[in-house]
Amino acid sequence: MKELKDYIEKDELNIESVINDYSGSLYKFIKSHSYNLKIEDIEEIIADTFFVLWKNYKKMDLDDKISNYLIGVSKNILFNKLRKNKTKFNNVNIEDYQNIFSTKEDVESLYEEQDKMNFIENIIIDMDSESKEIFILFYYEQRKIKEISKILNISESKVKTRLHRIRKKIKKELEKGGYRYE
């Protein structure tokens, strides 16, 4: 994982490099955590995230992982936006939206899926730091195995083995918790 110091040139943040490296990852992260936002809203959150980084990078430690910071900021901005959007729904006629939730089963499956994601996040939190980094790089940042091995300075076979063990552990824990693994 790249650190803040990797983006500092002549005592200034090379924000263009950060944007090039992390726009796609942030888009995927935000999209996966919000099913109802328009593309324009997602792009606004991404722009705001990079602005916050640019405004605050001098307060940060040079060894801070840039991806962790960006994910944290984007998550806060996203949740604030979702909270604001909730208040807009107070003035909406519910009959306009009666077909969105067609059955009780749809609502229950959405709840179960969210519950399952929280369960998986707790499994990941309990992993050792290297496994966590591999998981985040592979699943959240969509990095290739070859890239991950270079970033973490470990062999590709070790990355593949760790990913296999991570998936196996998640499957086992999900089954223990009464969830189906797909």
For residues 12 and 147, give the distance between their C-alpha atoms in angstroms, rounded to a whole number: 26
What does R_g of the chain's alpha carbons equal in angstroms? 19
pLDDT tens across 11-27, in order? Answer: 898 899 889 888 888 88
Distances, alpha carbon 99 to alpha carbons 28, 35, 88, 103, in Å: 27, 16, 19, 9
Domains 1-100 and 102-182 belong to one CATH topology: no
Q: Is the pLDDT of residue 178 over 80?
A: no
CATH number for the domain whose boundaries are 102-182: 1.10.10.10
pLDDT at res. 116: 73
For residues 182 and 168, give the distance between their C-alpha atoms in angstroms, rounded to a whole number: 12
Domain layout of the chain by residue ranges: 1-100, 102-182
pLDDT tens across 71-105, in order? Answer: 888 888 888 877 776 544 444 444 443 444 444 44
The two three-digit tokens of residue 105, written as one number:
């089963």
**Topology adopted by domain 1-100:** Rna Polymerase Sigma Factor; Chain: A (1.10.1740)
